[in-house]
Amino acid sequence: MDSTALLIFIVGVLIVGILLVAVIMLTKKGASPLDVDKYRLRWLAIEKQLIREEQSSAHLAVLNADKLLDQALKERGVKGETMGERMKAAKDSWSNANGVWTAHKLRNQIAHESDVQVSYDDARRALASFKQALKDIGAI
């Protein structure tokens, strides 16, 4: 093999190698970066929804906070068919696992029980837990 053929062979191998690395990187599943600004803006809107004198605002704020966390988990590539499954899969991410589970359980009560009463303070605690969970996964 002369030097020109060897050079063409080496360049070809390098190109194939670079293409393989690019394909692997583009198809790799896992933690993808989140749009922190988008999540911060949506979080601020949720916090503004909670009004002390309006109980329905507590329901809406908790539901929306849970939905925002679920969206962030999905965008992060966390596996699971349901929010609960995704939360279990991300269990090592939570700095306050009990808080985020309690907040999610409150969301489930709001969604499935017609007569649930949520106090402003309970909603604030749930929002604080959701906010910490969003911080834990790098969304805000």
> Does one domain contain both 121 and 81?
yes
**Taking 70 as the threshold, does the pLDDT of residue 41 lie above it?**
yes
> Does one domain contain both 22 and 51?
no
Overall average pLDDT of the 71-89 stretch: 96
> Does one domain contain both 99 and 125?
yes
> Does one domain contain both 71 and 127?
yes
> What is the value of pTM for the model shown?
0.78
> Does one domain contain both 22 and 73?
no
Task: Note the pLDDT tens digit of each residue in 49-66.
Answer: 999 999 899 999 999 999
> Does one domain contain both 15 and 83?
no
Domain that holds residue 25: 1-30
> Does one domain contain both 62 and 42?
yes
Q: Provide the sign of the torsion angle of the four alpha carbons 88, 85, 50, 131, taken in this order.
A: positive
> Does one domain contain both 64 and 99?
yes
Give CB contacts under 8 A, 24+ apart, made by 38-46.
Answer: 39/68, 39/72, 39/134, 39/139, 39/140, 40/140, 42/68, 43/68, 43/131, 43/134, 43/140, 46/127
- The pLDDT score that the predictor gives to residue 25 is 67
**Taking 80 as the threshold, does the pLDDT of residue 28 lie above it?**
no
Higher pLDDT, 39 or 23: 39
> Does one domain contain both 18 and 48?
no
> Does one domain contain both 82 and 98?
yes
- The pLDDT score that the predictor gives to residue 3 is 80
If we measure between CA atoms, which residue out of 50, 78, 79 comes closest to residue 64? 50
Reported residue count of the chain is 140
Task: Note the pLDDT tens digit of each residue in 123-140.
Answer: 999 999 999 999 999 999
- Amino acid letter, 67: K
> Does one domain contain both 16 and 69?
no
> Is residue 29 very low, low, confident or very high in pLDDT (cuts 50, 70, 90)?
low
Q: What is the 3-state secondary structure (H, E, C) of 13-68?
A: HHHHHHHHHHHHHHHCCCCCCCCHHHHHHHHHHHHHHCCCCCHHHHHHHHHHHHHH
> Is residue 11 very low, low, confident or very high in pLDDT (cuts 50, 70, 90)?
confident
- The pLDDT score that the predictor gives to residue 60 is 97
CA 45, CA 49: separation in Å to the nearest integer? 6
> Does one domain contain both 109 and 84?
yes
Contact by Cβ (8 Å): 2, 45: no
> Percentage of residues in the chain with pLDDT exceeding 90?
76
Domains contained in the chain, number: 2
